[in-house]
Structure 1
Amino acid sequence: MSEEENFYQGEAGSSLTYPMQAGNIKKNGYAMLRGFPCKVTEMTTCKAGKHGHAKATIIGTDIFTGRKYEDSCPTSHNMEVPFVKKQEYQLMDIADDNYLTLLIENGEKKEDLKLPEDEPQMVEKLKADFESQKDILVSIISAMGQEKIISYREIVN
């Protein structure tokens, strides 16, 4: 009598941002400015005016492109703050097309990250250190579904 039903399971879809009062955002923290995940470089507040709200002016740089953004908001209103995660992976290989093979903690490989094109000095130094057989840890920042290599260091035993 009953028909067979198919249930398709999706991801939980956790949010990429969380709300925070604009007055609580601090310098060197993170905030979404004009829709971009930014590291806050300047934060100023001015007193309540005749309309009753103290305003916060936040200036920051995009964590992926380095572009500068500015936004203003009443200090009592919420702004979106991106979940920012920093991780380190051991470098296993650098392909000819500048994609890296990285070793994840669970022993699997990560092969979907490319060397940053906007930092040629770091890329050349990283390639030279890797070719000289050094063990290297690569630091990656991720937010809003994007990832970028921000630095690297040699593993010293």
Structure 2
Amino acid sequence: MNKQQEAIEALQQLIKDREAADRNRKAIKLNEEEASVSDWTLTQLRIVAVIKEKGQANNTTLAEHLNISKPAVTKAIKKLLENQMVEKIQQVGNKKEVYYILTDFGNLLAAIHEELHERAEARYLDIFNHFDDHELETLITFFKLMTENIKSL
């Protein structure tokens, strides 16, 4: 078997194992923190993170910051509003533009999401410590090419 075929098989195994781990996490809810974020989409969690960072945000700001469409923001915000994670506010003198701020529940969700994100990053850094700079450059190239490939589908 050549190195390219070996790389394909390793990538396929990674994808299969990642999908299985995701299914297991959803089935057994590993811990309370993971359970609290498992009902939210990545877009919703990213919206909460942006609002936490900025203090408040409108649809345009969220769409631009997350590089998604305004209708996608509206759809994601709807569930956050229904579950009282965010609330609408309007600026004095401008009743047309709606901004969103986090509620106490939203701040808690943002904090849990940030903690889980930091843990994941720490795990990746532990893995990257096994590679030298040249190997990391190869990984970076691979990740960028994979990202471009996914976007072109």
| TM-score normalised by structure 1 residue count | 0.25
More strand by share: 1
Q: Under a length normalisation based on structure 2, what TM-score does the superposition of the two structures give?
A: 0.25
Q: Which has the larger radius of gyration?
A: 1
Q: Compare the two structures and name the one with the higher helix fraction.
A: 2
